[in-house]
Amino acid sequence: MRNPLRSEANAFRFLLYVIAVAAVVVVLALIIQAL
Amino acid sequence: MEAGAIQAGAGHAHEHHGPPPANRSSRVDPALLGMLLFIISEVMVFGAFFTAYFFIRVVQSADWPAEGTELPKLIAGINTCILISSSFTLHWAEHAHKMGNRRGLQAGILTTFLLGLTFLFIQVNEYVHIGFSPQDSAQGTVFYGLTGLHGAHVFIGLTLLLFVNIRAFRGHFTAEDHRGIEVPGIYWHFVDVMWIVVYTTVYIL
3-class SS at B18?
A: coil
pLDDT tens digits, one per residue of B107-123: 999 999 999 999 999 99
Query: How many domains in chain A?
Result: 1
CB B92 within 8 A of CB B106: no
pLDDT tens digits, one per residue of A1-35: 677 778 899 999 999 999 999 999 999 988 998 88
Q: Which residues touch B83 (CB under 8 Å, ≥6 apart)?
A: B115, B116, B119, B154, B191, B192, B195
Q: With pLDDT > 90 as the criterion, what percentage of chain A qualifies? A: 60
Domains located in chain B, CATH noted: 29-204 (1.20.120.80)
Q: Which residues touch A13 (CB under 8 Å, ≥6 apart)?
A: A4
Look at residue B107 in the predicted model and tell me its pLDDT.
97
- Tell me the residue range of the domain where A3 lies: 1-35
Q: What is the DSSP letter of B22?
A: P
Q: Which of A7, A15, A27 to probe by mutation at the B interface, max B CB count within 10 Å?
A: A15
Contacts of A28 in chain B (CB under 8 A): none
ipTM confidence: 0.90
CB-based contact A8 B84, cutoff 8 Å: no
Does B172 contact A at CB distance below 8 Å? Answer: no
Which of B173, B198, B188, B145 shows the shortest CA–CA distance to B35? B188
pTM here? Answer: 0.86
Which of B112, B114, B86, B94 shows the shortest CA–CA distance to B173? B94
